[in-house]
Structure 1
Amino acid sequence: MRQVTPLGFFSSISSQSRFSVNAEEIKKLSGQMPVHDCSRVAEYLRRAPVIIALMGYTEDVVGKKFGVMGGSAIHSDGTYYWRRDTAEYVETYRTGLPSGFMEHGARMQWSVPHLSDAEILEIDDFFESLRTQS
């Protein structure tokens, strides 16, 4: 089983209404992402494989500026995991992300590593173990 690290509250596997409690936290992080990093970080977040595909439509909990089909789906680069709509918060609000993730992405030159089917299944097993622990 491959363990992955949550990307703060952006790793929340929850409904839109439960995720909306993070609105104030997201506002506090707004403007913290350097302008020159926003597009490459957002692209990295989008290109990582989907580990848990969740249907539904999420809306921006800060300023209602965007909506995302499948926004609560979970992506992973094999080290971290996050919600699909994280990319929109980065692009729209320049939302800062944890320094460990930013350092990791910079080391990777913002190029998403290839994950084999077996690696994706190992990460999925990790999420299954979290569900069974609850």
Structure 2
Amino acid sequence: MSHQPPYASRFLGEFQELEHGRPDGPSLRAGIRGQAGPDGHRIARYLRSGSVLAATGTRVHDVLSSDREPIDVLRLHTDGQWLWYSDLAHYVERYHIALDEEFLQHARNRNFTPPQLSHADLLKIEETLFGTEKS
């Protein structure tokens, strides 16, 4: 029996170069493409529009730029099926980072519009991911 949360395989952007990434995650640098795919801007908008599952006060910076320009504060977004960090949209938009084709098709199937999840939906996802229970 696997001890990974059910969303573990549907987590985007855990790049090894990022402080909030995974050491065994994919390489952000290796994912850079010379130009955006046909849906690049719509994917970035989708990523920015996902429901916020968790937010921190931690600022994230562009690890690929020489001056490490600030991006935003770190948030965890979801559309109820996939999870990603808030800085992913920046890397998709600026560096055209390649994403999982299954996710891209998922976003296309939703016409690049993530559902706005209810508070109850977000609590259920939180319980599943983190094993917390809210009363």
**Shorter-chain TM-score: which interval?**
0.7 to 0.9
| d(CA) in 2 for partners of 1:26, 1:47 | 22
| d(CA) in 2 for partners of 1:111, 1:87 | 14
Output the amino acid matched with 1:104.
H
The 8 Å contact of residues 62 and 70 in structure 2, kept in 1 or not, is answered as yes
Change over 3 Å in CA distance of 1:41–1:116 after alignment to 2: same
Deviations 1:16-50 (A, max 9, x none): 5454968x811111117744312111110011111
The 8 Å contact of residues 20 and 61 in structure 1, kept in 2 or not, is answered as no
Q: Is the counterpart of residue 6 in structure 1 residue 8 in structure 2?
A: no
| Structure with larger RCO (C-alpha < 8 A, sep 6+) | 1
Q: 1:105 aligns with which of 101, 104, 107?
A: 107
Q: 2:44 aligns with which of 18, 23, 42?
A: 42
CA RMSD of aligned residues (A): 2.9
Higher strand share: 2
Please tell me whether Structure 1 or Structure 2 has the larger radius of gyration of its CA atoms. Answer: 2
Pairwise CA distance, 1:3: 4.5
Change over 3 Å in CA distance of 1:30–1:123 after alignment to 2: same
Output the TM-score relative to the length of structure 1. 0.77
Pairwise CA distance, 1:105: 0.5
Output the amino acid matched with 1:109.
N
Output the TM-score relative to the length of structure 2. 0.77
